[in-house]
Structure 1
Protein backbone atom coordinates (compact mmCIF):
# COMPACT_ATOMS: atom_id res chain seq x y z
CA UNK A 1 0.00 0.00 0.00
CA UNK A 2 1.33 3.27 -0.98
CA UNK A 3 0.76 6.28 1.10
CA UNK A 4 -0.12 9.52 -0.46
CA UNK A 5 2.02 12.52 0.20
CA UNK A 6 0.65 14.79 2.91
CA UNK A 7 -1.50 17.61 1.62
CA UNK A 8 0.12 20.85 2.62
CA UNK A 9 -3.16 22.79 2.69
CA UNK A 10 -4.54 20.65 5.50
CA UNK A 11 -1.35 20.38 7.45
CA UNK A 12 -1.62 22.77 10.37
CA UNK A 13 0.49 23.31 13.32
CA UNK A 14 -0.37 25.04 16.54
CA UNK A 15 2.06 27.85 15.78
CA UNK A 16 0.14 28.66 12.59
CA UNK A 17 -3.12 29.29 14.52
CA UNK A 18 -1.57 31.97 16.68
CA UNK A 19 -2.81 35.28 15.29
CA UNK A 20 -0.78 38.22 16.47
CA UNK A 21 -3.02 40.70 14.67
CA UNK A 22 -6.06 39.82 16.79
CA UNK A 23 -5.23 41.73 19.91
CA UNK A 24 -7.41 44.17 21.75
CA UNK A 25 -5.35 46.95 23.18
CA UNK A 26 -5.27 50.72 23.49
CA UNK A 27 -8.32 52.53 22.12
CA UNK A 28 -10.09 49.34 21.05
CA UNK A 29 -9.98 48.02 24.61
CA UNK A 30 -11.34 51.33 25.92
CA UNK A 31 -14.25 51.31 23.41
CA UNK A 32 -15.10 47.70 24.21
CA UNK A 33 -15.24 48.43 27.96
CA UNK A 34 -17.36 51.57 27.43
CA UNK A 35 -19.76 49.68 25.16
CA UNK A 36 -20.09 46.85 27.67
CA UNK A 37 -20.71 49.36 30.49
CA UNK A 38 -23.43 51.15 28.49
CA UNK A 39 -25.23 47.91 27.67
CA UNK A 40 -25.04 46.86 31.32
CA UNK A 41 -26.29 50.27 32.52
CA UNK A 42 -29.30 50.31 30.16
CA UNK A 43 -30.16 46.72 31.06
CA UNK A 44 -30.11 47.56 34.77
CA UNK A 45 -32.25 50.67 34.21
CA UNK A 46 -34.76 48.65 32.19
CA UNK A 47 -35.10 45.96 34.85
CA UNK A 48 -35.34 48.58 37.62
CA UNK A 49 -38.14 50.42 35.78
CA UNK A 50 -39.96 47.13 35.18
CA UNK A 51 -39.67 46.19 38.87
CA UNK A 52 -40.83 49.66 39.94
CA UNK A 53 -43.91 49.49 37.69
CA UNK A 54 -44.85 46.10 39.11
CA UNK A 55 -44.49 47.34 42.68
CA UNK A 56 -46.65 50.39 42.04
CA UNK A 57 -49.27 48.43 40.04
CA UNK A 58 -48.85 50.77 37.11
CA UNK A 59 -51.18 49.54 34.36
CA UNK A 60 -48.97 50.74 31.54
CA UNK A 61 -49.58 53.49 29.02
CA UNK A 62 -52.99 55.07 29.19
CA UNK A 63 -55.37 53.92 26.46
CA UNK A 64 -56.20 56.41 23.76
CA UNK A 65 -59.67 57.89 23.99
CA UNK A 66 -62.04 56.70 21.30
CA UNK A 67 -62.56 59.07 18.41
CA UNK A 68 -65.54 61.34 18.89
CA UNK A 69 -68.58 59.83 17.28
CA UNK A 70 -70.86 61.87 15.14
CA UNK A 71 -74.08 62.35 17.10
CA UNK A 72 -77.14 61.32 15.16
CA UNK A 73 -80.20 63.48 15.39
CA UNK A 74 -83.61 62.07 14.79
CA UNK A 75 -86.99 63.62 14.27
CA UNK A 76 -88.58 65.87 16.85
CA UNK A 77 -91.34 64.54 19.08
CA UNK A 78 -93.95 66.67 17.28
CA UNK A 79 -92.86 65.32 13.88
CA UNK A 80 -93.08 61.74 15.15
CA UNK A 81 -96.55 62.40 16.59
CA UNK A 82 -97.64 63.75 13.17
CA UNK A 83 -96.99 60.39 11.47
CA UNK A 84 -100.19 58.66 10.31
CA UNK A 85 -101.61 55.86 12.46
CA UNK A 86 -103.77 53.22 10.75
CA UNK A 87 -105.38 49.90 11.66
CA UNK A 88 -103.41 46.98 10.31
CA UNK A 89 -105.27 44.73 7.89
CA UNK A 90 -103.89 41.34 6.91
CA UNK A 91 -103.99 40.44 3.21
CA UNK A 92 -104.38 43.95 1.88
CA UNK A 93 -101.58 44.43 -0.64
CA UNK A 94 -98.79 42.26 -2.10
CA UNK A 95 -95.57 42.28 -0.06
CA UNK A 96 -97.31 43.88 2.90
CA UNK A 97 -95.46 44.07 6.20
CA UNK A 98 -96.60 41.29 8.53
CA UNK A 99 -94.11 41.96 11.32
CA UNK A 100 -92.43 44.91 12.98
CA UNK A 101 -88.78 44.52 12.04
CA UNK A 102 -87.70 46.62 15.01
CA UNK A 103 -89.06 44.29 17.71
CA UNK A 104 -89.66 41.31 15.38
CA UNK A 105 -93.23 41.03 16.68
CA UNK A 106 -96.18 40.11 14.48
CA UNK A 107 -98.53 42.86 13.38
CA UNK A 108 -102.00 41.66 14.41
CA UNK A 109 -105.25 42.24 12.53
CA UNK A 110 -106.81 45.54 13.65
CA UNK A 111 -103.72 46.68 15.59
CA UNK A 112 -102.74 50.37 15.44
CA UNK A 113 -99.53 50.81 13.45
CA UNK A 114 -97.59 53.85 12.26
CA UNK A 115 -96.98 54.30 8.56
CA UNK A 116 -93.78 56.02 7.44
CA UNK A 117 -94.12 58.32 4.44
CA UNK A 118 -93.01 58.03 1.59
CA UNK A 119 -92.17 54.28 1.72
CA UNK A 120 -95.35 53.37 3.66
CA UNK A 121 -93.67 50.68 5.76
CA UNK A 122 -95.60 49.84 8.94
CA UNK A 123 -94.31 49.38 12.49
CA UNK A 124 -95.56 49.30 16.06
CA UNK A 125 -95.97 52.88 17.28
CA UNK A 126 -93.69 52.54 20.33
CA UNK A 127 -90.97 50.80 18.36
CA UNK A 128 -90.79 53.30 15.51
CA UNK A 129 -91.05 56.27 17.90
CA UNK A 130 -87.84 55.22 19.69
CA UNK A 131 -86.17 54.54 16.34
CA UNK A 132 -87.06 57.94 14.89
CA UNK A 133 -85.88 59.84 17.98
CA UNK A 134 -82.35 58.77 17.04
CA UNK A 135 -82.56 58.45 13.22
CA UNK A 136 -84.40 60.00 10.31
CA UNK A 137 -84.55 56.96 8.01
CA UNK A 138 -86.92 54.02 7.72
CA UNK A 139 -85.47 50.99 9.55
CA UNK A 140 -86.38 48.69 6.67
CA UNK A 141 -85.41 50.54 3.48
CA UNK A 142 -83.34 53.47 4.87
CA UNK A 143 -85.45 56.03 3.00
CA UNK A 144 -85.56 59.48 4.62
CA UNK A 145 -88.82 59.84 6.52
CA UNK A 146 -90.88 62.81 5.39
CA UNK A 147 -93.75 64.29 7.39
CA UNK A 148 -96.69 65.48 5.34
CA UNK A 149 -97.75 68.35 7.56
CA UNK A 150 -94.24 69.51 8.55
CA UNK A 151 -91.18 70.26 6.52
CA UNK A 152 -88.52 67.60 7.24
CA UNK A 153 -85.79 70.16 7.81
CA UNK A 154 -87.85 71.89 10.48
CA UNK A 155 -88.72 68.54 12.04
CA UNK A 156 -85.11 67.52 12.64
CA UNK A 157 -83.94 68.30 16.16
Structure 2
Protein backbone atom coordinates (compact mmCIF):
# COMPACT_ATOMS: atom_id res chain seq x y z
CA UNK A 1 0.00 0.00 0.00
CA UNK A 2 2.85 2.38 0.84
CA UNK A 3 4.57 1.51 -2.43
CA UNK A 4 1.38 2.30 -4.38
CA UNK A 5 0.97 5.61 -2.57
CA UNK A 6 4.59 6.55 -3.30
CA UNK A 7 4.14 5.68 -6.99
CA UNK A 8 0.92 7.72 -7.14
CA UNK A 9 2.64 10.68 -5.49
CA UNK A 10 5.55 10.49 -7.98
CA UNK A 11 3.07 10.31 -10.84
CA UNK A 12 1.22 13.39 -9.56
CA UNK A 13 4.50 15.27 -9.15
CA UNK A 14 5.50 14.42 -12.74
CA UNK A 15 2.10 15.55 -14.04
CA UNK A 16 2.47 18.84 -12.17
CA UNK A 17 5.97 19.33 -13.56
CA UNK A 18 4.73 18.65 -17.11
CA UNK A 19 1.94 21.18 -16.64
CA UNK A 20 4.37 23.86 -15.39
CA UNK A 21 6.75 23.25 -18.30
CA UNK A 22 3.87 23.38 -20.78
CA UNK A 23 2.51 26.64 -19.34
CA UNK A 24 5.97 28.24 -19.21
CA UNK A 25 6.79 27.26 -22.79
CA UNK A 26 3.39 28.40 -24.05
CA UNK A 27 3.68 31.73 -22.24
CA UNK A 28 7.19 32.33 -23.55
CA UNK A 29 6.21 31.43 -27.09
CA UNK A 30 3.13 33.59 -27.09
CA UNK A 31 5.11 36.49 -25.61
CA UNK A 32 7.74 36.17 -28.34
CA UNK A 33 5.18 35.87 -31.11
CA UNK A 34 2.59 38.37 -29.95
CA UNK A 35 5.06 40.76 -28.31
CA UNK A 36 6.06 42.25 -31.65
CA UNK A 37 4.44 45.50 -32.58
CA UNK A 38 1.47 45.21 -34.88
CA UNK A 39 2.28 45.83 -38.50
CA UNK A 40 0.21 46.19 -41.59
CA UNK A 41 2.84 44.49 -43.70
CA UNK A 42 1.45 41.21 -45.09
CA UNK A 43 4.90 39.59 -45.21
CA UNK A 44 5.49 40.27 -41.50
CA UNK A 45 2.05 38.89 -40.61
CA UNK A 46 2.77 35.75 -42.67
CA UNK A 47 6.06 35.22 -40.84
CA UNK A 48 4.33 35.53 -37.46
CA UNK A 49 1.71 33.00 -38.53
CA UNK A 50 4.40 30.60 -39.76
CA UNK A 51 6.31 31.04 -36.50
CA UNK A 52 3.13 30.41 -34.51
CA UNK A 53 2.46 27.18 -36.46
CA UNK A 54 5.98 25.86 -35.83
CA UNK A 55 5.89 26.87 -32.19
CA UNK A 56 2.54 25.13 -31.67
CA UNK A 57 3.79 22.01 -33.45
CA UNK A 58 6.97 21.98 -31.36
CA UNK A 59 5.06 22.49 -28.13
CA UNK A 60 2.67 19.63 -28.92
CA UNK A 61 5.56 17.33 -29.89
CA UNK A 62 7.44 18.20 -26.69
CA UNK A 63 4.36 17.44 -24.62
CA UNK A 64 3.86 14.09 -26.40
CA UNK A 65 7.50 13.10 -25.92
CA UNK A 66 7.41 13.92 -22.21
CA UNK A 67 4.07 12.15 -21.78
CA UNK A 68 5.00 8.96 -23.63
CA UNK A 69 8.65 8.73 -22.58
CA UNK A 70 7.80 6.40 -19.70
CA UNK A 71 5.92 4.07 -22.07
CA UNK A 72 8.86 4.14 -24.46
CA UNK A 73 11.32 3.36 -21.66
CA UNK A 74 9.18 0.43 -20.47
CA UNK A 75 9.00 -0.96 -24.01
CA UNK A 76 12.75 -0.61 -24.47
CA UNK A 77 13.38 -2.33 -21.13
CA UNK A 78 11.19 -5.28 -22.09
CA UNK A 79 12.79 -5.62 -25.51
CA UNK A 80 16.34 -5.16 -24.25
CA UNK A 81 16.15 -7.34 -21.13
CA UNK A 82 17.59 -10.47 -22.84
CA UNK A 83 20.46 -8.35 -24.17
CA UNK A 84 21.11 -6.89 -20.72
CA UNK A 85 21.17 -10.38 -19.18
CA UNK A 86 23.61 -11.54 -21.85
CA UNK A 87 25.87 -8.54 -21.21
CA UNK A 88 25.73 -9.17 -17.45
CA UNK A 89 26.71 -12.78 -18.05
CA UNK A 90 29.91 -11.66 -19.79
CA UNK A 91 30.68 -8.82 -17.37
CA UNK A 92 30.42 -11.03 -14.26
CA UNK A 93 31.35 -14.55 -15.42
CA UNK A 94 32.66 -15.70 -12.01
CA UNK A 95 29.29 -15.60 -10.23
CA UNK A 96 27.61 -18.42 -12.17
CA UNK A 97 28.23 -22.11 -12.73
CA UNK A 98 30.22 -23.58 -15.59
CA UNK A 99 28.88 -26.20 -18.04
CA UNK A 100 30.33 -29.13 -16.07
CA UNK A 101 28.57 -28.05 -12.88
CA UNK A 102 25.31 -27.49 -14.78
CA UNK A 103 25.40 -31.02 -16.20
CA UNK A 104 25.93 -32.45 -12.70
CA UNK A 105 22.55 -31.15 -11.50
CA UNK A 106 20.01 -34.01 -11.41
CA UNK A 107 17.35 -33.92 -14.09
CA UNK A 108 14.03 -35.72 -14.50
CA UNK A 109 11.08 -35.80 -16.88
CA UNK A 110 7.85 -34.33 -15.52
CA UNK A 111 4.69 -36.40 -15.61
CA UNK A 112 1.17 -35.41 -14.54
CA UNK A 113 0.81 -38.83 -12.91
CA UNK A 114 3.63 -38.09 -10.46
CA UNK A 115 2.76 -36.52 -7.16
CA UNK A 116 4.72 -33.31 -7.60
CA UNK A 117 4.78 -32.63 -3.88
CA UNK A 118 7.02 -35.69 -3.50
CA UNK A 119 9.62 -34.12 -5.78
CA UNK A 120 9.74 -30.49 -4.76
CA UNK A 121 8.57 -28.03 -2.17
CA UNK A 122 7.14 -25.60 -4.73
CA UNK A 123 4.02 -25.80 -6.94
CA UNK A 124 4.10 -27.35 -10.41
CA UNK A 125 5.22 -24.07 -12.00
CA UNK A 126 8.64 -22.87 -13.08
CA UNK A 127 9.14 -19.64 -11.13
CA UNK A 128 11.75 -18.44 -13.62
CA UNK A 129 9.53 -18.39 -16.73
CA UNK A 130 6.16 -18.53 -14.88
CA UNK A 131 4.93 -21.46 -17.02
CA UNK A 132 3.25 -24.57 -15.56
CA UNK A 133 5.05 -27.88 -16.02
CA UNK A 134 3.50 -30.20 -18.62
CA UNK A 135 4.15 -33.84 -19.49
CA UNK A 136 7.66 -34.60 -20.79
CA UNK A 137 9.16 -31.31 -19.59
CA UNK A 138 12.78 -31.73 -18.53
CA UNK A 139 13.16 -30.48 -14.97
CA UNK A 140 16.28 -29.97 -12.89
CA UNK A 141 16.10 -30.70 -9.17
CA UNK A 142 18.24 -28.67 -6.76
CA UNK A 143 19.36 -29.90 -3.32
CA UNK A 144 16.99 -27.37 -1.69
CA UNK A 145 14.18 -29.48 -3.20
CA UNK A 146 13.07 -26.89 -5.79
CA UNK A 147 12.53 -27.79 -9.44
CA UNK A 148 12.67 -25.68 -12.60
CA UNK A 149 12.69 -26.18 -16.36
CA UNK A 150 16.17 -27.37 -17.30
CA UNK A 151 16.70 -24.59 -19.86
CA UNK A 152 15.46 -21.88 -17.50
CA UNK A 153 17.63 -23.07 -14.62
CA UNK A 154 20.72 -23.38 -16.83
CA UNK A 155 20.33 -19.77 -17.98
CA UNK A 156 19.78 -18.62 -14.39
CA UNK A 157 22.73 -20.53 -12.95
CA UNK A 158 25.16 -19.24 -15.58
CA UNK A 159 24.47 -15.77 -14.15
CA UNK A 160 24.11 -16.52 -10.44
CA UNK A 161 24.85 -19.77 -8.61
CA UNK A 162 21.86 -19.64 -6.24
CA UNK A 163 18.39 -21.14 -6.26
CA UNK A 164 16.00 -18.64 -7.90
CA UNK A 165 13.38 -19.32 -5.24
CA UNK A 166 15.16 -19.58 -1.88
CA UNK A 167 18.61 -18.16 -2.84
CA UNK A 168 20.46 -21.17 -1.38
CA UNK A 169 23.92 -21.53 -2.91
CA UNK A 170 24.27 -24.19 -5.57
CA UNK A 171 28.09 -24.10 -5.54
CA UNK A 172 30.22 -26.30 -3.36
CA UNK A 173 28.14 -29.13 -1.94
CA UNK A 174 27.33 -32.14 -4.06
CA UNK A 175 23.73 -32.31 -5.32
CA UNK A 176 21.67 -35.33 -4.23
CA UNK A 177 20.53 -37.97 -6.67
CA UNK A 178 17.22 -37.29 -8.42
CA UNK A 179 14.24 -38.10 -6.25
CA UNK A 180 11.99 -38.88 -9.19
CA UNK A 181 10.81 -42.37 -9.95
CA UNK A 182 11.71 -41.67 -13.57
CA UNK A 183 15.28 -42.07 -14.71
CA UNK A 184 17.16 -38.80 -15.22
CA UNK A 185 16.63 -37.57 -18.75
CA UNK A 186 19.55 -37.85 -21.11
CA UNK A 187 20.15 -34.66 -23.00
* TM-score interval (norm. to shorter): 0.3 to 0.5
TM value normalised by structure 2: 0.38
More helix by share: 2
TM value normalised by structure 1: 0.44
Larger Rg: 1
